[in-house]
Amino acid sequence: MAKKREPGDVSIGKFDLLATYTYAKALLDGLGDDEAKERGMVAAVMGAKAKSGHTGGSHRDDYKADKDAAEKGKKTTIIAESFDRQVADEMGGFFKKTFLPTMKKLVKADISYDEVKKLVKIPTTWGAKITGEEFKERASERLRAGEKS
């Protein structure tokens, strides 16, 4: 059972953001929950690898090559439970109640991952995080602004 956490107790980093953005996008594109979670983890692992100078498949959308590269680096198989353990469970109830629904709204609003990363203002330093409260405030501002236009 997921821990109950208040937004101020939750830490969100770029790994969590990319994993959940990709997961939300895959769900909205019609993929099943397990496959969407795997895609989220692969994207986050490959994003972390790219930050350190490694690259994945030869084509931007070559999911199989990226998954193979991500698993090789982690020396493990990426499965849906990896997402639960490394992202959702770490955020407790905040993930299902706030984080995932907000990410789905951002994806539906056609806001790219890079734009989401900028709007939530996670510092560029390695390992930087924001609180759940900061995420909620910053994402809500953008979504409200989008409704007005």
Whether 13 shows a pLDDT value over 80: the answer reads yes
Per-residue confidence (pLDDT) for residue 145, from 0 to 100:
80
pLDDT band at 22; cut points 50, 70, 90: very high
Higher pLDDT, 71 or 20: 20
Domain for residue 1, yes or no?
no
SS3 string, 80-112, reads HHHHHHHHHHHHCHHHHHHHHHHHHHHHHCCCC
Q: What percent of the chain has pLDDT over 90?
A: 57
Query: Tokens 């909620």 correspond to what residue?
Result: 136
Domain for residue 135, yes or no?
yes
Q: Which structural domain, as residue segments, surrounds residue 13? A: 7-148
pTM above 0.85, yes or no: no
Total structural domains within the chain: 1
pLDDT in tens, 114-139: 999 999 999 888 889 999 999 999 99
Cα dihedral 47/48/50/51 (nearest 10): 120
Domain for residue 2, yes or no?
no
